[in-house]
Amino acid sequence: MIRYALRCDQDHDFDMWFADSDTFDALAREKHVSCPECDSTAVTKALMAPGVAKSKKPQAMTNTPAPREIARMIKEYRAKVMAETTDVGSKFPEQVRDMHEGIIDQAPIRGQATPEEAKSLVEDGISILPVPPEPPKEN
């Protein structure tokens, strides 16, 4: 249920409850919503808030980013990783180890590692990060 603050064309303010916004729209369109004071059916929504805050800005319920926002962040992070690293493919575990041991110069690289190889690298104190998968395309 939604409570709408309504106003007629004579500037009478009143409240009414509707199942949802579609119901209000349908009833108002068919002129089934009338002002209790003057019976005018020229009724418009004054505001949709239950009268607590006068701010027109909708308040976020939580600080959790929306799924779309998370997908965007992952996409950006992935793009950054792709732009800043060199793909060494299956040589990744070997090259990372060589860098760790100072055999070759440090460089940002990415590539494939089997779960065993990744585990072995982490156990040897070599920090590696998974590249996030491509997020699903937005419709």
Q: Which is nearer to Zn ion, 32 or 91 (CB)?
A: 32
Q: Which is nearer to Zn ion, 35 or 96 (CB)?
A: 35
**Binding to Zn ion by residue 120, rule CB under 5 A?**
no
- From edge to edge, which strands make up the β-sheet containing 13-18? 13-18, 2-8, 43-47
Written as one string, the DSSP assignment of 30-90 is TT----TTT----EEEEE-S-SS----SPPPS-SPPPHHHHHHHHHHHHHHHHHHSEEEET
- Mark 12-51 with x for binding to Zn ion (rule: CB under 5 A) and - for no binding: x----------------------x-xx-x-----------
Q: How far is the CB of 54 from Zn ion (least distance, A)?
A: 22
Binding region for Zn ion (CB under 5 A): 8, 10, 12, 35, 37-38, 40
